Chains A and B, each alone.
Chain A
Amino acid sequence: MRFRKLSLEQKNRYYGLYFILPWFAGFLFLFVGPLLASFRYSLSNLQVTNDGFSLDFIGFANYREALLSHESYVRILTESVIDILINTPLIIIFSLFFAVLLNQRFRGRVLARAIFFLPVILASGIIASIESGDLMQSVVRSANDTTGGGLSVMKNLELTVMLIESGMSITFVEYLTGAVSRIYEIVSQSGVQILIFLAGLQSISPSLYEAAKIEGSTGYEAFWKITFPMISPLILTNLVYTIIDSFISDETSRLVVDTAFKSFNFGLSAAMAWMYFAVIALVLWVTTAVVSRKVFYQD
């Protein structure tokens, strides 16, 4: 039996397939397979035996247990989501601002860029978690906390007073001072974003700026009318990246891992993971839908 030879046109269409074969094998075995299996586990009770494991189907009991009777899941989930919602705009604004700053020519620019990208290299998640276990630091930090009465507003008392007296509303002031207290978190999560924004800024052709300058625009106007629209696709990219990146070192993720490997309750852990994923997918979908309407594409 002979296979009918494909015409050149058809061959051209299909040759891409050979290239993706290794990836596709991995995709099937190490992603789709485990994904479906995990869904199956979340619907059942998993017991690890000596030569494999046994599954008893118990329906949605795991989900109900996670939502209704587990002591901390719902609370931790809402905390994580709120954290993400608060941190993400701060991170994006921060990285955009500093990318613009780092794009200008000044002495020591190379050094500044190198330093700003350092947090990506240093796995700040691990360092932060070890630092919180560092007794000297935590003694100092708890001293700070007790004098402040536990409110984050109190730590930046002078800044707060100044801002309130200048007429801003209280909630806004709290948000800003909270942002300042979180500066370390924000800085350590914005390395890759700064890099992407920097690369994007450098791809804007300078002729746009020149034309604007001839017409008499100020720097401020040039930013909002030229830089910001040209960068907006990257804002979407960075938004998605930031939200995804904050999963990995999240409280909820740690809870899921602990439930699986410390309490050995695999079914419950899978149910928690799936619900977490559903929530995150919802958040991503909403933010993407909202932001991509405002994105300006040049073509």
Chain B
Amino acid sequence: MKTETAVKERSARETRLQRMASAVYWVEFAKKWLWTIVRFVLIFGISFVIVYPILLKLSIAFKSMEDLYDSTVIWIPQNITLHNFKLVFEAMNYPSVLMNTLLLSSAVMVLQTITCVLAGYGFARIKFRGSGLLFAGVIFTILVPANTIMIPLYLHFKNFDVFGLIELFRGEPVNLINTYWPFIISAALGMGVKTGLYVYIFRQFFKGIPREIEEAAYVDGAGYFATFRKIILPNAVPSMVTVMLFSFVWQWNDSFFTNMYLNEPKVMSSMMASSGYAIATHLSGGGQAEIASYVQDPFFMSMMMNTSVLMAILPLIILYVFVQRHFVESVERSGLVG
């Protein structure tokens, strides 16, 4: 039986022609395309602003000596050379600095995540009075700028002594400056860089987990910690990924605490700051006569510094390429928002 629709069915071609004849269609079309173009221009413009320094450094790093003074060379060098990289590699002791930074950042990342997960869970489940006050303490640690407590921390680690025990053994407090111990201790005890933020993230997340799940586990006979480890923790993986990413990156880039606790440029961020001096000493002491004369040349020095900065951020960029997908996803699912 034929359908009894009141509307006459038209062919697709007819409907399309009909639509194209109306003025409204063209207005909508223009609006949509205008918006696409505006959006493209905006995003492209800002992306350029962001990426421009990196491109500039890339192009400078590959320049050879002749290209440096050649005014026809703006972006692409005529003689591409890896000589600058090699120079920075030797002068800055690159492999050991890289390894140091990697190990330090990873260790801090792991320790901070563990402490913050525990603390976040605790804060989400405490019910006694005064817990609000304690959480206000967490927020307070985020608010207070680090330089307020910088001096006492420095002096504290200079004569580090746990309840007089160390003095008992060694006869005098131990000096922890210029070792990695301040970082390890701060991270393990939950006072590393921006730790309060991580505790906040975890607390928000754990508050969203219903208690019924835990109670089911208690009924089955699990203790508090076992419940935490087997049931709550696997749920918290998105938050943990977020916190691990942030803590790794921020520890890698941290120059405040590294400059305070370490005297030598063992870590990436301090390496960048001292690169000019290190390169100058390396070149003038290395017996490379023809290059030694270039040390006085400011353009050469700036080219070297550019290369060293590039090499310092290169590992991060490579890691970022692999990991960037997780950043947005994990923040979404971590419960920090909504």
Binding site for B on A (CB under 8 A): 12-27, 29-35, 37-38, 41, 46, 48, 51-53, 98, 101-102, 104, 106, 110, 112-123, 125-127, 130-131, 133-137, 183-184, 187-188, 195-196, 198-200, 202-204, 234, 244, 247-248, 253, 256-257, 260-261, 266, 269-270, 273-274, 276-277, 280-281, 284
Question: Which residues of the other chain, B, contact A244 by a CB distance below 8 angstroms?
Answer: 142-143, 145
- 23 pairs of residues in contact across A and B, judged by CB atoms under 8 Å: A14-B128, A16-B122, A19-B118, A19-B228, A24-B134, A25-B189, A29-B189, A30-B186, A30-B189, A31-B141, A35-B144, A51-B159, A98-B42, A101-B43, A116-B50, A118-B50, A122-B316, A122-B317, A123-B253, A136-B303, A196-B337, A244-B145, A276-B147
Closest Cβ of chain A: how far from B146's Cβ, in Å?
A: 7
Task: Name B330's closest neighbour in chain A (CB-CB).
Answer: A199
Closest 4 CB pairs of A and B: A26-B189, A203-B338, A19-B122, A16-B126
Question: Which residues of the other chain, A, contact B141 by a CB distance below 8 angstroms?
Answer: 27, 31
Q: Does B199 contact A (CB under 8 A)?
A: yes
Let me know if B269 and A270 touch, CB within 8 A: no
Q: Does B156 contact A (CB under 8 A)?
A: yes
Binding site for A on B (CB under 8 A): 36, 39-40, 42-43, 46-47, 49-51, 53-54, 115-116, 118-119, 121-128, 131, 134, 137-138, 141-153, 155-156, 159, 172, 185-186, 188-191, 195, 199, 224-225, 228, 249, 252-253, 255-256, 260, 269, 272-273, 276, 298-299, 301-303, 305-306, 309, 313, 316-317, 320, 324-325, 327-328, 331-332, 336-338
Question: Which residues of the other chain, A, contact B303 by a CB distance below 8 angstroms?
Answer: 136
Residue of A26, A183, A196, A284 with highest tally of chain B CB at under 10 A: A26
Closest Cβ of chain A: how far from B303's Cβ, in Å?
A: 8
Let me know if B49 and A22 touch, CB within 8 A: no
Let me know if A17 and B320 touch, CB within 8 A: no
Let me know if B317 and A134 touch, CB within 8 A: no
Q: How far is the CA of A276 from the CA of B147 in the complex (A)?
A: 10
Closest Cβ of chain B: how far from A79's Cβ, in Å?
A: 16
Closest Cβ of chain A: how far from B329's Cβ, in Å?
A: 9
Let me know if A13 and B127 touch, CB within 8 A: yes
Question: Which residues of the other chain, B, contact A104 by a CB distance below 8 angstroms?
Answer: 39
The answer, among A48, A98, A106, A260, for a CB contact under 8 Å with B46, is A98
Question: Which residues of the other chain, B, contact A137 by a CB distance below 8 angstroms?
Answer: 302
Closest Cβ of chain A: how far from B317's Cβ, in Å?
A: 7
Question: Which residues of the other chain, A, contact B155 by a CB distance below 8 angstroms?
Answer: 48, 53
Closest Cβ of chain B: how far from A51's Cβ, in Å?
A: 7
Q: How far is the CA of A117 from the CA of B230 in the complex (A)?
A: 34
The answer, among B156, B269, B299, for a CB contact under 8 Å with A126, is B269
Q: How far is the CA of A161 from the CA of B124 in the complex (A)?
A: 56
Question: Which residues of the other chain, A, contact B195 by a CB distance below 8 angstroms?
Answer: 23, 26
Let me know if B127 and A134 touch, CB within 8 A: no
Let me know if A26 and B137 touch, CB within 8 A: no
- Interface residue SS majority, chain B: helix
- Interface residue SS majority, chain A: helix
Task: Name B186's closest neighbour in chain A (CB-CB).
Answer: A30
Q: How far is the CA of A14 from the CA of B272 in the complex (A)?
A: 48
Let me know if B328 and A269 touch, CB within 8 A: no
Question: Which residues of the other chain, A, contact B252 by a CB distance below 8 angstroms?
Answer: 123
The answer, among A32, A48, A106, A136, for a CB contact under 8 Å with B36, is A106
Closest Cβ of chain B: how far from A282's Cβ, in Å?
A: 12
The answer, among A26, A114, A184, for a CB contact under 8 Å with B190, is A26
Q: How far is the CA of A137 from the CA of B142 in the complex (A)?
A: 36
Let me know if A19 and B299 touch, CB within 8 A: no
The answer, among B47, B124, B147, for a CB contact under 8 Å with A112, is B47
Task: Name A118's closest neighbour in chain B (CB-CB).
Answer: B50
Let me know if B49 and A33 touch, CB within 8 A: no
The answer, among A32, A183, A277, A284, for a CB contact under 8 Å with B49, is A183
Let me know if A20 and B256 touch, CB within 8 A: no
Question: Which residues of the other chain, B, contact A12 by a CB distance below 8 angstroms?
Answer: 127
Question: Which residues of the other chain, A, contact B188 by a CB distance below 8 angstroms?
Answer: 22, 26
Let me know if A273 and B147 touch, CB within 8 A: yes
Task: Name B149's closest neighbour in chain A (CB-CB).
Answer: A34
Question: Which residues of the other chain, A, contact B302 by a CB distance below 8 angstroms?
Answer: 133-137
Question: Which residues of the other chain, A, contact B124 by a CB distance below 8 angstroms?
Answer: 16
Question: Which residues of the other chain, A, contact B199 by a CB distance below 8 angstroms?
Answer: 23
Contact flag A195-B328 (CB < 8 Å), given A23-B199, A121-B249: yes
Question: Which residues of the other chain, B, contact A14 by a CB distance below 8 angstroms?
Answer: 126, 128
Let me know if B145 and A280 touch, CB within 8 A: yes
Closest Cβ of chain B: how far from A63's Cβ, in Å?
A: 14
Let me know if A35 and B309 touch, CB within 8 A: no
Question: Which residues of the other chain, A, contact B125 by a CB distance below 8 angstroms?
Answer: 15-16, 19
